[in-house]
Amino acid sequence: MKIRVVIVDDEPLARERIRTLLGQEADIEVAGECETGAEAVKTIRQAKPDLVFLDVQMPGMDGFEVLRALDPDALPMVIFVTAYDQHAIKAFEVKALDYLLKPFKQARFKETVQRAREMLVQRQAGTVSRSLLEMLGQAKPERDYLTRLAVRNGERVLLVRTDQVEYAESAGNYVVLHAGKESHILRETLTALEEQLNPRQFLRISRSILVNVDHIKELQPLFRGEHAVMLQNGKQLTMTRGIREVQDLLKFS
């Protein structure tokens, strides 16, 4: 019997990695791939998979919200995929759910798939998934956001306070942190970094720029309704996000 699987991750390379490894499992059939939480809810409802590889951190609807949106009586088995070993992961283990910490090795992946396979054979998937839903239904503490970023510099690891970061700039799969006269390279994507920072403090003004609102001096109009963000240090950044949304956040902060 084939085990039907849905892969949910907002990063194409992460989905490809999981899909490639699943291709080596004879009893696995990939029933769908999704890059957003909303797509995941729709696909899981339609495909009715036995197993879902679910990214925890996604923009918009995250992995937790995906599970809450599903029918509690028809929850699939879930393997969480995350780039951050946060405290919540320990709670997943207590609930007998497995997870993959990016970047994961092939041996760890096979171990996880085998664990899910055994649970499905023993018809425990529903029990485990419902226990997770019960945990998600409990009162949720206010989320903790990063106040320091660990940046590797050769053999050293520098701790950069987030309030000192004026803006962060995407450079492929890396991020350049601009803090005063210093710049630091962070080995992760801008989207992944944004998920860890307080949205009341850091604002995505374009696909490649994340700005600390405490360092914004003013917004200047450009041509054709576009605007520029002027920082206190004199740096000008081009903004492609709607001006009203930015103004609302600046008022709120």
CATH code: domain of residue 59: 3.40.50.2300
Identify the H or E element spanning 227. Answer: strand 227-231
Whether 117 and 184 share a structural domain: no
Q: What pLDDT was estimated at residue 58?
A: 84
Q: How far apart are CA 172 and CA 1, in angstroms?
A: 41
How much is the pTM? 0.53
Are 168 and 117 contained in the same domain?
Answer: no
Give 191: exposed, middle or buried? Use CB within 10 Å, 0-12, 13-18, 19+: middle
pLDDT at 240: 79
Give the per-residue pLDDT at 81: 87
Q: Do 165 and 205 belong together in one domain? A: yes
What phi, psi does 81 have (nearest 5°)? -125, 125
Q: Determine the pLDDT at residue 75.
A: 83
14 is a domain residue:
yes
Where do we find the tokens 């949106």? 69
pLDDT at position 70: 87
Domain span at 112: 3-137
| CA pair distance 196, 40, nearest whole angstrom | 22
CATH code for the domain in which residue 219 is found: 2.40.50.1020
Task: Tell me how many domains the chain contains.
Answer: 2
Q: Is residue 133 part of a domain?
A: yes
Cβ neighbour number for residue 226 with a 10 Å cutoff: 12
For residue 95, the model assigns a pLDDT of 47
Tens-level pLDDT at each residue, the chain (253 residues)? 789 999 999 999 999 999 999 999 999 999 999 999 999 999 999 999 999 999 988 888 888 888 888 888 788 888 888 876 653 454 454 343 577 888 889 999 999 999 888 888 776 555 556 566 666 665 455 567 889 998 887 778 889 999 999 999 999 889 999 999 999 999 889 988 998 898 888 988 888 999 999 999 888 887 766 778 899 999 999 887 665 556 555 654 4
Asked if residue 170 belongs to a domain, the reply is yes
Residue 219: predicted pLDDT: 84
Do residues 217 and 180 make contact, with C-beta atoms less than 8 angstroms apart?
Answer: no
Q: Give me 234's structure tokens.
A: 């004199």
Domain identity same for 100 and 127: yes
| pLDDT value, residue 187 | 87
Burial of 93 (0-12, 13-18, 19+ CB in 10 A): exposed
- Do both 177 and 247 map to the same domain? yes
Grouping H, G, I as helix, E, B as strand and the rest as coil, residue 92 is: helix
Give the number of other CB atoms < 10 A from CB of residue 176: 15
Distance (Å, whole) CA 6 – CA 217: 46
